[in-house]
Chain A
Amino acid sequence: MKSLGSTRRSFTPWLDKETKPYISFQNVTKKFGDFVAVDNLTLNIYEREFYSLLGPSGCGKTTLLRMLAGFEEPTSGEIFLDGVSLKGVPPHKRPVNMMFQSYALFPHMSVRDNIGFGLKQAGIAKAQITERVDAILKLVKLEEFAKRKPDQLSGGQRQRVALARSVVLRPKLLLLDEPLGALDKKLREETQFELMDLQHELGLTFMIVTHDQEEAMTMSDRIAVMDKGTVIQTGTPAEIYEAPNSRYVADFIGTVNTLEGKVKEKAAGKVKIVGKDGFTIEAATTDQFALNTDDTAWFSIRPEKIKVSRSKPDKQTNAVEGEVWDIGYLGDMTLFNVMLDSGTIMRASVLNAKRTVDDPIGYEDRIWLSFEPDAGIVLER
C-alpha cells in the first residue's frame, strides 16, 4: 500500500471514529472590537497528541492558545476539555499549563522557586515540592542552576526552566507558544527532539503555536495550517507537505512550483492540464477531484520531485526546457532556478549523492525538467 511520505505512524487516533477528542473547539469565534481573530473554528485534538498550530503572525493561532489557557473567552462557540466545557473557568482552575513565548520566568525568584511556584500554589507539602522539583531539574539537566535567578541563565537554560515550570504540575494539556522562537538554529534543532522525548516520556498532550514550518513538521503528529482566523487544512506533516489542499498550504510549507493551467482531458485517476507555460501536464488525481474541462487548475510540484537532465526525455508530457538562471549549492543538495521560455521560473533540487560530478550544470545552460504524473498534485484553489 502506498502511503504519503516516508514516515509510518501507528498513532492515529483521529482516524478512529470511536475515539473521543480530548480538546474540542466547537464553532469558536473570537472578536477584538471589529477584528475577527478566530472565525467560527471547529477543531478536535486527541489525547497524547503533539498538535501544532502553524500560520503567519496575526492568523489567530495565539488567540486560540490563550482561549484554552483561559486568558481570553470566546465571543461565541464553546471549548471542551475532556468532555467538560471550559466556559467561565478561570485560568487557575484549568488543568492546562502554558509555556510563554517570553518564558515569563519570575525575575525575583530562583530557578527552584520558579519551578516550585505552581506546586506551592496547589498546597503541596514542602518535602514533596523539593522532591518533584529535583526530579524535573534532573530531567531538564539544570541541577546545578537551581539557585540561580533567571537573569543569570542563558537563553537555552531559561527555555528549559520555563518548560520545567509548565510540566511540573503534570497538566492534562501543555500549551507552548513559540517555545523555540528565542533560540538559535542549532539549539532549536536539539531542543525539538528533547521536546518530543519529553512529551513521550510524560505522556502529555502538547499543543504548540509556531510560525516555523520546519519546527512543526519535525515535532507534530498533526498540524493545523491557519490563515485569517480559520483552519485551512489539518493533517499529518506528510499529508500537509505531500497533499496540500490549496495553494496557500502548499506555499506555506516548504518550497513549491505552482503552474497555472486549464483542465483539458479528464479520465478516472488522471487529468491533462494545458499549462500557461506552453507545455502539457499529465497528473494523477484522487476520487475527490471535482474540476471540469476548461476549469482553471494549479499544478503544484516540489523541487525535489523534478528530474533535471541535459538531454530531452523520451516523453511528450511532463517535460519542459529552460535556461539555468540561478544555482544554489547547499552542500547536501543543489538548487536550480530554471527560467522557462515563457518567463516562469521553476525550481528543481538535486541531491548531491556523489562527491564529484562529471560535466556539472552551469549558469545559462539549457536543461530539461521532467516529472512523473504522481509527483505533483492538482489544486483547485
Chain B
Amino acid sequence: MGNFFKRVTIGLPYLWLCLLFLLPFLIVLRVSFSEPVLAMPPFAPQFDLSEGWQAFTDAVSRFTLYNFQFVLEDSLYTNAYLSSLRIALISTFLTLVIGFPLAYGMSRAPMTIRPMLLMLVILPFWTSFLIRVYAWIGILKPEGLMNQFLMGAGIISTPLRIYNTEIAVYIGIVYSYLPFMVLPIYATLEKMDYSYVEAARDLGCSALGAFWKITARLALPGVLAGCFLVFIPAIGEFVIPELLGGSRTLMIGKTLWSEFFNNRDWPVASTVAIILLAILVVPIVLFQNAQARAAEAGR
C-alpha cells in the first residue's frame, strides 16, 4: 500500500512532464521534419493510423531535414538567434548588476523588515505580466510619463527615443525578471553566516576584499541560479520585444511568431523552435551541473 502510494507520487510528475512537455515536443519535432502545404493542418506528410503500419513508415520516409538546412543557412534566422543571444546576455548581466545589491541589502536588513522587503520583490507578480509590460509603453513612449517628467523638470528639451528601441527591451526584461535574480541570491546570502566576513576581516582582508573573497564567492550558487533563471526565458522572450522593441529589434521569439501566424509555415517555425531548444539545452545542462555540484558540496 505504502509502496503503491510512493510510486504514484513519483509517477505523477513524470506523467505530467510526458503529457505537457515530451508529447508537445515530439509533435513539434515531427512537424519540423515536414513540408509546408496549403491544407489544414498546413504540413505534410500526415499520419493516417487507419491505413496501418505501411502508411506510417511511408510517411516517416518522406521526412526531410530541408527546414534545418534552410534555417541555418538563411542569415535572417542566424541573425535573430545571435541578436537574441546578445540581448539575453546583456539583460542577464544588467539584472545581476541591479539584483545583487538589492539581494545583499535585503539580507543585511534588520530581521524584522525582511519579510516586508521580500513581499515587495514578489508584489509585481500580483499584476498580470502583460499589463505590466503595457504600462512600460505608457512610461517610455515619446509623449509618455518619463519624457513628460524629464522635460517638465528641464533636464531635456526633446523627448528621449527609448520606446521601440533595444534599450526598451533591456528595460522590460530587467524589470520583468528582476525577482528571479533577487530571490535565489537573497536565499544564499540570507543563510550565510556573517561571521565568515568578520573572520576574513580579522585575517587581514579589507571590507571590499572580504566582500569579493567571501560574500560574493559564497553567493555564487545563487548568482548562477539567478542568471540561468533570467537568461533562459529571456532568450526566447516574445512579448517584451514585440511590445517595447519595435520592428527593428530582432529576436527569435518574434521570428517564430511571424513564421507561425504570418507565414503559416509550421515546419520552419517548428525548426526554429527546435534549434532554439538545442541552444538552450547547453546552459540548462550547465545549470543542472552547477546545482548538482552545489548540492554535493552540501550548501
Q: Tell me the smallest distance from the CB of B197 to a CB of chain A, in Å.
A: 9
A98 within 8 A of B: yes
Please determine whether B195 and A121 come into contact, CB atoms closer than 8 angstroms: no
Tell me the B199-245 residues at the A interface (CB within 8 Å).
199-207, 209, 214, 217-218
Hey, what's the 0/1 contact readout for A125-150 against B, CB within 8 Å counting as 1? 00000000000000000000000010
Hey, what's the 0/1 contact readout for B65-91 against A, CB within 8 Å counting as 1? 000000000000000000000000000
Residues of B within 8 A of A151 (CB): 298-299
B196 within 8 A of A: yes
Please determine whether B199 and A100 come into contact, CB atoms closer than 8 angstroms: yes
CA distance A161 to B218 in the complex (A): 20
Please determine whether B214 and A106 come into contact, CB atoms closer than 8 angstroms: yes
Q: Tell me the smallest distance from the CB of B113 to a CB of chain A, in Å.
A: 16
CA distance A121 to B214 in the complex (A): 13
Residues of B within 8 A of A118 (CB): 203-204
Tally of chain A residues near chain B (CB < 8 A): 25
Hey, what's the 0/1 contact readout for B282-299 against A, CB within 8 Å counting as 1? 000000000000000111
CA distance A341 to B257 in the complex (A): 97
A353 within 8 A of B: no
Please determine whether A104 and B201 come into contact, CB atoms closer than 8 angstroms: no
A-B contact count (CB 8 A): 64
CA distance A92 to B204 in the complex (A): 4
Q: Is the interface of B mostly helix, strand, loop or mixed?
A: helix
CA distance A106 to B218 in the complex (A): 9
CA distance A107 to B195 in the complex (A): 12
B143 within 8 A of A: no
A289 within 8 A of B: no
A102 within 8 A of B: yes
Residues of B within 8 A of A71 (CB): 198, 201
A90 within 8 A of B: yes
Q: Tell me the smallest distance from the CB of A158 to a CB of chain B, in Å.
A: 13
Known: A100-B195, A106-B199. A122 touches B204 (CB 8 A): yes
CA distance A166 to B203 in the complex (A): 8
Of all chain A residues, the one with the shortest Cβ separation from B201 is A91
Please determine whether A117 and B200 come into contact, CB atoms closer than 8 angstroms: yes
Please determine whether B199 and A104 come into contact, CB atoms closer than 8 angstroms: yes
Residues of B within 8 A of A107 (CB): 196, 218, 297, 299
B193 within 8 A of A: yes
CA distance A102 to B195 in the complex (A): 8
Please determine whether B203 and A117 come into contact, CB atoms closer than 8 angstroms: yes
Of all chain A residues, the one with the shortest Cβ separation from B194 is A104
A165 within 8 A of B: yes
A169 within 8 A of B: yes
CA distance A100 to B194 in the complex (A): 11
Please determine whether A121 and B202 come into contact, CB atoms closer than 8 angstroms: no
CA distance A117 to B204 in the complex (A): 9
Q: Tell me the smallest distance from the CB of B220 to a CB of chain A, in Å.
A: 8
Residues of A within 8 A of B298 (CB): 151
Please determine whether A91 and B193 come into contact, CB atoms closer than 8 angstroms: no
Please determine whether A92 and B206 come into contact, CB atoms closer than 8 angstroms: yes
Please determine whether B198 and A91 come into contact, CB atoms closer than 8 angstroms: yes
Please determine whether A98 and B209 come into contact, CB atoms closer than 8 angstroms: no
CA distance A169 to B205 in the complex (A): 13
Of all chain A residues, the one with the shortest Cβ separation from B209 is A121
Please determine whether B202 and A69 come into contact, CB atoms closer than 8 angstroms: yes
Q: Tell me the smallest distance from the CB of A72 to a CB of chain B, in Å.
A: 11
Residues of B within 8 A of A165 (CB): 199, 203
Tell me the B233-283 residues at the A interface (CB within 8 Å).
none
Residues of B within 8 A of A104 (CB): 193, 195-196, 198-199
CA distance A117 to B202 in the complex (A): 11
Tell me the A75-108 residues at the B interface (CB within 8 Å).
90-92, 96-98, 100, 102, 104-108
Please determine whether B201 and A90 come into contact, CB atoms closer than 8 angstroms: yes
| Top 3 closest pairs, chain A to chain B, by CB | A121-B204, A118-B203, A104-B199
Q: Which residues of A contact B (CB under 8 A)?
A: 69-71, 90-92, 96-98, 100, 102, 104-108, 117-118, 121-122, 149, 151, 165-166, 169
List, sorted by A's number, 25 A–B pairs whose CB atoms are closer than 8 Å: A69-B198, A70-B202, A90-B201, A92-B201, A92-B203, A92-B204, A98-B198, A98-B199, A100-B199, A102-B193, A104-B195, A104-B196, A105-B199, A107-B196, A107-B297, A108-B297, A117-B200, A118-B203, A118-B204, A121-B203, A121-B209, A122-B204, A166-B202, A169-B203, A169-B204
